[in-house]
Amino acid sequence: DFLEAADIVFFSLTNFQGQEEKIMLQFIKTYPDKIFVAGNGAKGCFIGVKGSIKSIPPSLSTAPIIDTNGAGDALAMGTINALVFKKMELHEAVIQGQELARKVCTLKASSHLDP
């Protein structure tokens, strides 16, 4: 249901190494009116839109990766924020989303939880 209703679909390709373009092509052929943004871990991400696929290289940050929890959410929300509030083009918005995802990966999650 979600895939049918969404205009932009974010997902991960990190567990499909070597099959990224095949999977992206399948999505854009099946849903030609949708935008697909797929995180690909340390390799960057892919954009699929209007029959074409673009690979975007990873962030150039050299900060150490501490925890990847939340990286996908950061990619999605950073991209959407840049599209909606900053009125950026898709390619630039995804780069901004990647920068936020990379920043999230450099943060240590708190180990202190209040009851």
Which sign, positive or negative, has the C-alpha torsion 25, 31, 36, 41?
negative
What pLDDT, in 10s, does the model give residues 39-57? 998 899 999 999 999 999 9
Bridging pattern class, strands 35-39 and 45-49: antiparallel
Question: Which pTM value belongs to this model?
Answer: 0.89
Which sign, positive or negative, has the C-alpha torsion 96, 40, 58, 66?
positive
What pLDDT, in 10s, does the model give residues 10-45? 999 999 999 999 999 999 999 999 999 999 988 999
| Number of other residues whose CB lies within 10 A of the CB of residue 79 | 27
Helix (H, G, I), strand (E, B) or coil at 38: strand
